[in-house]
Amino acid sequence: MTTAVLITGTSSGIGRATAERLAARADVTVYATARRPETIAGLAEAGARVLALDVTDDASMRAAVRAVEAEHGAVGALVNNAGYGEYGTIEETGLGGVRRQFETNVFGLARMTQLVLPGMRTAGRGRIVNVGSMGGRIVFPAGGYYHASKYAVEALTDALRFEVAPFGIKVSLIEPGLIRTSFGETAAHSLAGSAGSAGPYAALNAAADRQMAASYRNAALSAPPESVAKVIERAVTAGRPRSRYVVTPAARALIHTRRLLGAAAFDAYLRMQFRGA
């Protein structure tokens, strides 16, 4: 019996790498999704089924889940991957952009989860894999709203894991560090557009932009999306998946440093990283 795996946000980066990796397995039927299906036509050639799905549109989400359930009875595994970063300081970032980010990163994830759970409960099994971030446990300046969305994913995942365990449904959280995808470019673009070059936070924004660019270019600090896809595959297929998977050595080091040394020491680290801001 094959497992039907529904993945959101597969047009690029982690989602695309995950769809390609899982589509190569004989025991998995991958449903790759994106707002514009033409952007993922290549995934059909790799063996995936292609569906339109916009995680900010309820009708679109319902239609995608119905399509999988019509063929398989239930979604076997949901990978909530769709997300992006809206960067800027708390004072200067427009709340319209913040709301759009939460619609994708948090409410879309929550709604997709609500839609697949009835079928999973009836089947008595299922997997939900939420792609969070190391940014759900540590915070960098000029990224507060993005981090808040990922902190929300942490909370939702922890509650969900306990709630659905009696129904045979397993829930895992993936916490990637810096992954070399278009995410960094999107975040830098939103940071550049969040305020004028002469505003009160201009120096901080410039420092954050430099730091972000340098970190994503650094092979020791970042990793390719295939590294995350490999971990997601493990969470989807393992008999006893872990509750959390932190991806990249740098992410593990930062999370443990923040936890062990506390806020004061981490703030001191940030002051060193953002010197001149």
The whole-angstrom separation of Cα 162 and Cα 174 is 17
Residue 48 CB contacts under 8 Å (≥ 6 apart), including other chains: 10, 19, 20, 23, 30, 31, 32, 40
Crossing angle of helices 144-164 and 95-102, rounded to 10° = 30
Rg of the chain over CA atoms, in angstroms?
Answer: 19
Q: Is 31 a catalytic residue?
A: no
Catalytic entry in 31, 87, 145, 146: 146
Catalytic entry in 87, 145, 150, 216: 150
Quick one: which of 45, 40, 38 has its CA closest to 8? 40
The whole-angstrom separation of Cα 210 and Cα 239 is 42
Crossing angle of helices 13-23 and 225-237, rounded to 10° = 50
Question: What residue type is 197 in one-letter code?
Answer: S
The angle subtended at Cα 222 by Cα 220 and Cα 228, nearest 5°, is 130
Q: Is 170 a catalytic residue?
A: no
The label of the residue with tokens 């995350």 reads 228
* Positions marked active-site: 146, 150
